[in-house]
Amino acid sequence: MELPLQVVCAILRDGDKIAVFQRRASDCEVSDKWEFPGGKIEPGEEATAALIRELKEELSIDITVPRYVGVVDWQYPNLHLQLHAFEVSKWKGCIRLYVHQDYRWVPHANLGEVELADADRALVEKYGLI
């Protein structure tokens, strides 16, 4: 059995709002759905370092110390992953989109109404983010 792909994501918070991002159409298994930004943990890389790197690459923002939320194990039709989530409430820089087509700030109470990617939805439900 193949080991799951190790992935990180950031739950960006601004007060009572959480940022969700939409991948470009036909970009991957979650195209057109909303997700938390992040990406693969490289071999030998710590999860926190991967998150810092991914947010710099994907959004052009710098973070320092994210708060670990937890992990969810998810099986997509062609991909098994473990999604490690971190909460980020402080960053430097302005968000720029490099791999996403759109983003929006959603009030915490309305996060359940967003069409999230399945793994992200499982994360939200598991850790009571809605």
pLDDT tens digits for 26-69? 655 556 799 999 999 999 999 999 999 999 999 999 998 899 99
The domain of 55 spans 5-126
The CATH number covering residue 77 comes to 3.90.79.10
Mean pLDDT of 68-88: 95
The confidence score (pLDDT) of residue 118 equals 95
Tokens 């799951």, located at residue: 4
The confidence score (pLDDT) of residue 64 equals 84
> What is d(CA 63, CA 66) in angstroms, rounded to the nearest whole number?
7
How many structural domains comprise the chain? 1
The confidence score (pLDDT) of residue 35 equals 96
Computed on alpha carbons and rounded to an integer, the radius of gyration of the chain in Å comes to: 14
The confidence score (pLDDT) of residue 38 equals 97
0.85 surpassed by pTM:
yes
Q: Confidence class of residue 96 from pLDDT cuts 50, 70 and 90? A: very high
Q: Confidence class of residue 24 from pLDDT cuts 50, 70 and 90? A: confident
Tokens of 65: 């110390």
Long-range contacts of 103-106 (CB under 8 A, 24+ apart): 103/19, 103/20, 103/21, 103/22, 104/19, 104/20, 105/14, 105/17, 105/18, 105/19, 106/17, 106/18, 106/19, 106/20
User: What is the average pLDDT value for the chain, to the nearest integer?
Assistant: 92
Cβ–Cβ < 8 Å for 37, 12 = yes
